[in-house]
Structure 1
Amino acid sequence: MTLSKMSFLEDAKTFYTEFLKRGDPRVEEWFLMQTPVPIMILFFSYIFVVLVSPRVMRNGQPLNLKAILIPYNFILVGLSIYMFLEFLTVSLLSNYSYKCQPVDYSDSPLAMRMAKVCWWFFFSKVIELLDTVFFILRKKFNQVSFLHVYHHCTMILNWWMGVKYVAGGQSFFTGMLNSFVHIFMYSYYGLAVFGPHMQKYLWWKKYLTKLQLTQFVAFVIHTGYNLITDCDFPQGFNVAVFIYAITLILLFGNFYYHSYLQSQREKKKLY
């Protein structure tokens, strides 16, 4: 091995060691939080499944997963309700500022409650990767869009970093708002599984997309405010959330336009 290669490996090893040392010691022993290796394996496994499974399923019959999907979706509704209420309750009890909130790295009961609900939010994103698996098994390949895959696979990485380094503080806002939106989203998915006769009760799908877009705008405003003010929260995380939220506004906005606005214009042309 050449000297330059040895130097590169030593630098990489040092960077990785320092990367882990900077993590929050409170979460170090929690499930999936010791090192990024398990979550990276999960990330690449997810991408592999997305790329390969449609080809495998091409000649197979779609599976009827109703018996699994109904409890799955309503369990996620229950988990989303728990996380939303826990984020809200702990932030209020801790007198959190909704403008700028540093992370409380202490072992106080409220600080630990906030760290734990942040971990549950991260883990919920791991569970939600099953959404894609179920779409593929049911041969609903049109649902496995770039937006769908991008959102699911990036959320597990974003929130692994969030829990590892900033389990609390500013990050509570995105977790709380997203949990609130997912109460309605998984309620919609759960009801839709019952069959076509439920469609007349699911007229609010369009408004669900609007609610999703609203939360992303709120993220941009929330983090954007802290980019121009002096807030004792890691600026790198604020920048990352700000940019990420903008990408989601663009992707969900494009989905909303093609799914609702464009289709309405085409219907008007027919008449």
Structure 2
Amino acid sequence: MATSMNFSRGLNAELVQPYDFEMLRDLRPFLEEYWVTSFLIVLIYLLLIFVGQNYMRPRKSFSLQGPLILWSFCLAIFSILGTVRTWKFMGTLLFTRGLQQTVCFANYIDDTIVKFWSCIFVLSKVVELGDTAFIILRKRPLIFIHWYHHSTVLLFTSFGFKNRVPSGGWFMTMNFGVHSIMYTYYTLKAAKVKHPSMLPMAITSLQILQMVMGTIFGILNYIWRQEKGCYATTEHFFWSFMLYGTYFLLFAHFFHQAYLRPKSKAKSKSQ
């Protein structure tokens, strides 16, 4: 612990200074207990999906344009702030201490900035379940990848936080980055503001890239698990590899269905 804290203090002095709000009370003890509660939250979430869809089936859809704009805008701002802080930290750590230091995670997990944003990141996965409420109340199609991704990310994030899963810093950082773009797009779409037509495809491409990078970081961590400062178990590797693998397949399938298949159909019809 002393080594970690000394590393943390040196890191802050050399790299990124924490803001006052990032030095608030540490929520780690509470959130480590939350790991058990996350299963209950996911169960309630899935139950509410079933109840909500049945409730809305005979009823007219709600517009909810104003609340949706506000919701997406708030999550976009939050994700952008998280992106700026975590990418600055992880990027500087990468170029000053090397890739292994960022992938192993153990040496910098007690840094003030990482502790704050990782706590907020875990809690944000519960908040983001609200995305599904808008889909149900507006009677939009609720696809499997949506609720599966929301459920498993919440569980894996809680698991990773409690068990200090190596490469968790990159998982958080990449997720913040993709969500900053994704929720900005959702805000523009809800407000009916014109946006680049390629933006949805770009977001899905970034999500697929995130899954590829996450798998690579997991493999590197497993390879380096015997190195001093690295902390990896077979359980960590198995679950991260399984989830990133299923996410990659699901997002790749979605990409094909949403952006490639319609074009091929249109082309065959024109011929």
Report the TM range for the smaller structure's normalisation: 0.7 to 0.9
1:180 to 169, 177, 180: 177
Match of 1:118 in 2: 118
Task: Measure the CA separation in 2 of the matches of 1:207 and 1:106.
Answer: 31
- Structure-to-structure mapping, 1:1-271, within 5 angstroms: 27-30=27-30, 32-91=31-90, 92=92, 97-99=98-100, 100-104=103-107, 111-140=111-140, 142=141, 144-166=142-164, 170-195=167-192, 198=193, 201-230=196-225, 231=227, 232-235=230-233, 236-271=235-270
TM-score by length of 2: 0.80
Name the Cα RMSD after superposition: 2.2
Task: Measure the CA separation in 1 of the matches of 2:107 and 2:54.
Answer: 48
Match of 1:10 in 2: none
Q: Is the 8 A contact 1:122 1:159 kept in 2?
A: yes
Partner SS state of residue 103, structure 1: coil
Letter in 1 for 2:256: Y
Give the C-alpha shift of residue 86 in structure 1: 2.0
Where does structure 2 lack aligned partners over 5 or more consecutive residues? 1-25
Q: 1:97 to 1:50 in 2, by over 3 A?
A: farther
Letter in 2 for 1:59: P
Task: Measure the CA separation in 2 of the matches of 1:106 and 1:225.
Answer: 18
Give the C-alpha shift of residue 90 in structure 1: 3.1
Task: Measure the CA separation in 2 of the matches of 1:35 and 1:217.
Answer: 28
Which string of whole-angstrom CA distances, capped at 9 and with x for unpartnered residues, describes residues 197-254 of structure 1?
x356443211211111111111111112222333522223233212211111100111
Which string of whole-angstrom CA distances, capped at 9 and with x for unpartnered residues, describes residues 16-39 of structure 1?
xxxxxxxxxx64443x54344432
Task: Measure the CA separation in 2 of the matches of 1:104 and 1:225.
Answer: 16
Q: Is the 8 A contact 1:74 1:190 kept in 2?
A: yes
Q: Is the 8 A contact 2:222 2:232 kept in 1?
A: no
Task: Measure the CA separation in 2 of the matches of 1:28 and 1:79.
Answer: 20
TM-score by length of 1: 0.80
Task: Measure the CA separation in 2 of the matches of 1:112 and 1:239.
Answer: 29
Partner SS state of residue 34, structure 1: helix
Where does structure 1 lack aligned partners over 5 or more consecutive residues? 1-25
Give the C-alpha shift of residue 120 in structure 1: 1.1
Give the C-alpha shift of residue 121 in structure 1: 1.2
Task: Measure the CA separation in 2 of the matches of 1:69 and 1:102.
Answer: 36
Which string of whole-angstrom CA distances, capped at 9 and with x for unpartnered residues, describes residues 123-178 of structure 1?
111111000011001011x1x211111100111111111222217x5210111011
Q: Is the 8 A contact 1:103 1:166 kept in 2?
A: yes
Q: How many residues align?
A: 237
Task: Measure the CA separation in 1 of the matches of 2:97 and 2:149.
Answer: 28
Task: Measure the CA separation in 2 of the matches of 1:50 and 1:97.
Answer: 44
Task: Measure the CA separation in 2 of the matches of 1:35 and 1:133.
Answer: 23
Identity among equivalent positions (%) equals 27
